[in-house]
A and B are shown apart, each in its own frame.
Chain A
């Protein structure tokens, strides 16, 4: 463990020489502003914060860390929901927020080249005048960084059809945990050799820091149609989703909310969803106009057949925004009907949705803890919101228990402990529920190839005895109590 003589504070003069005086933060009050990311439950004041502006500076900072055995934690905009950017008191926090340049928009090659601090939505903004967009659209896209998206392999409501960040990256310049600058791929797809880009994306900052990113741009669809269907029960809504998928339709997005989530959204933003709905389904279709028209008809019929008592359609952006308003506001809205809540992120095979939702209801009834369900139904990605009153003794613990039990249900049904929020520090101790010791040791082999000394974002993703106890998985990981309001969450 580095001490005051060798730890991050001792590096300050050399870090200033690299990043300039205003690129190094040592003041305790200013450091404290970086103490957590999107989940505030986990917090730690970083030993020192650096704000590099160039790849060379990032490399020099990381080389200093490597030379002195000081851990570093990369951070983009800090909107992550798994504590992946949780700083270390004994480490350097490398913040990419000053690397915010869109370097190139190359429409003929359908690529954009950006620095890691660029906001996700700014890539689309740069491409939009040419009729293109950047497909991954996490709900925090207005403020989350592309570098953070690389770390987390971010998805979004439309990843059902368009895939995740990893499917849209063809080139990376990275600074390895040893401080070397390495280019992987470029504008051409299929970089030769092992697909290191494919594993780097989603490695949560444990393999180094992406300093330049080449992404694919996607031609904007000719037509987008959004449909809102109200069902008497969740079961009926679930049947509609299954029927849509079975019919061979691949919507751009399929979102579902239960009665409690709808009630909260209604109270918060008056989204005007049909009254008395046990479930609301939002289906977005996009593509060639003729295709969308045909699919729209089919989806409408399938919803009605599954028991929808109201179906609304939107073809123009304003109407679409009205339909999405309730869904997009759901997380914040729940904050208004409950003093505190936990946002969970788990995945089940789509066909297990009905069964798992029923089990969640049972859990809720048994524990007296309310659960609002908001989820990406098309790919089985659940975001149960576990509601509780943090003033009530024991409520937080019971809520955490329900939240953890929901993850167990996901794993039990063959799903995943995270569909898009990542593992970070929050779920590292849950990893053994999904993977064997051999699986995890193999992941660690890969990590060590990049980071033999273990200084890049240590104690994230993979469980460690210190974090999880000597028998990882037996000790239940702690959960975030309140999601931060940094961005619209959904």
Chain B
């Protein structure tokens, strides 16, 4: 549908809108129109109008992950949530409710001033709350505090038919009803447009120490990782960082807690690792994705002991140009394949790494622009795919929400 028709279709909503441009493209698909609603009722009105006119809709926050995932097969309307930026911080309850468009950086700063934090790592700088939650990407702190979905305690989502619905609430302990926020966390906006998220928070720890060690490769690091996990030092993060090139893999263990205790705990871990590098600063790139801005990024999720095996297979096929950063303690991380890695090679890397990881998954989060339009098995085998498709069919029967973005194969 052309911009004029789309603008006419949503005109009655009164929501600010303009024709889309190349800068608005979602994985190369240029939306006909971009709308900027101010609140949940406006998102409802837009999606209601879109439903009546059969418009294909995608959502974006600040657009930091526009090049992630599969290209939508079409996009008549891009809903930008940037204006939904309100933040209500219930400080005494360690809870924050935010609009989907609130920037994560701003949220972090606001909470920090109150001595609190959302234990979700930055991962993608400049991202909004909604985009971060829809992508569901978690970093180093997930080891102790759980992945992003564990921090979401309430959510409001506008469905494909324009109906706004909430689940969860503003209290952490709550088992009333289905926790649909889990479904939308990492749902890539294919089941609805997130308009508000409520998170549980944690106090900022009084002190932290980072212990660093180097090993020839992830297999050599596996024993020491196991020793750290078997210790009772309660690390907040156990990270592997394997930069490109033939160099060693770096292992970082983060301990957080009372100022009186961190040195002793870090010392104990350093002794286990035979390491001398103990600092009170985080290394460059901590809590962000590896690789250059336009490289291909894979997500690897493995049983703890399966991760080194998977990384060995990954390097064997991808070569030393490939890098990895992720939680050896949780078994989840991200591999970056440099720009210029061809589709055939990406396919071989995926196949070999998946073979090495029967009880885990390797998925493509982002493909470099030169791979656009080329066939890529982004998901691999997805247990329960049939049920997931049934859920999609119920929530979006006409498949108008980010069509082609979920289980595209």
Contacts and interface: CB of A to CB of B under 8 A. Distances in A.
Interface of A: 106, 108-111, 131, 152-153, 155, 159, 163-164, 166-167, 176, 180, 182-196, 198-199, 202-203, 219-222, 242, 245-250, 287-291, 293-295, 347-351, 376, 379-381, 414-423, 427, 431, 434-436, 438-443, 445-450, 461-462
Given A183-B383, A246-B92, A349-B90, A418 B359 contact: no
A189 B179 contact: no
B179 A199 contact: yes
Contact of A380 (B173, B299, B301, B388): B173
B386 to A, nearest CB: 8
Contacts of A166: 150, 179, 182
B382 A188 contact: no
B379 A439 contact: no
Interface string B360-387: 1101000000000000000110111111
B5 to A, nearest CB: 29
A449 B391 contact: yes
B173 A420 contact: yes
A435 B177 CA distance: 9
Contact of A193 (B92, B157, B167, B385): B385
Contacts of A419: 171, 173-175
A188 B302 contact: yes
A106 B303 CA distance: 10
Given A288-B234, A293-B261, 12 more contacts: A109-B306, A164-B175, A186-B360, A189-B301, A190-B138, A194-B186, A221-B234, A291-B265, A414-B169, A416-B174, A439-B177, A442-B159
B313 to A, nearest CB: 15
Contact of B185 (A195, A203, A450): A195
B316 interface: no
A245 to B, nearest CB: 7
B173 A446 contact: no
Interface residues of B, number: 89
A434 B170 CA distance: 11
Nearest to A246: B92
B394 interface: yes
B117 to A, nearest CB: 10
Given A184-B384, A195-B186, A290 B175 contact: no
A111 B360 CA distance: 14
A217 to B, nearest CB: 11
Nearest to B157: A442
Given A110-B229, A422-B175, A192 B150 contact: no
Contacts of A159: 173
B209 to A, nearest CB: 12
A287 B260 CA distance: 14
Interface of B: 90, 92-95, 115, 136, 138, 146-147, 149-150, 157, 159, 163-167, 169-180, 182-183, 185-187, 191, 202-206, 226, 229-234, 255, 257-262, 264-265, 299, 301-306, 330-332, 357, 359-361, 363, 379-380, 382-388, 390-391, 393-395, 406-407
A447 B360 contact: no
Contacts of B363: 192
Contacts of A291: 234, 257-258, 261, 265
Contacts of A108: 226, 304-305
The winner among A190, A222, A381 for most chain B CB atoms within 10 A is A190
Contacts of B186: 190, 194-195
A442 B167 contact: yes
A445 B177 CA distance: 13
Contacts of B306: 109, 187-188
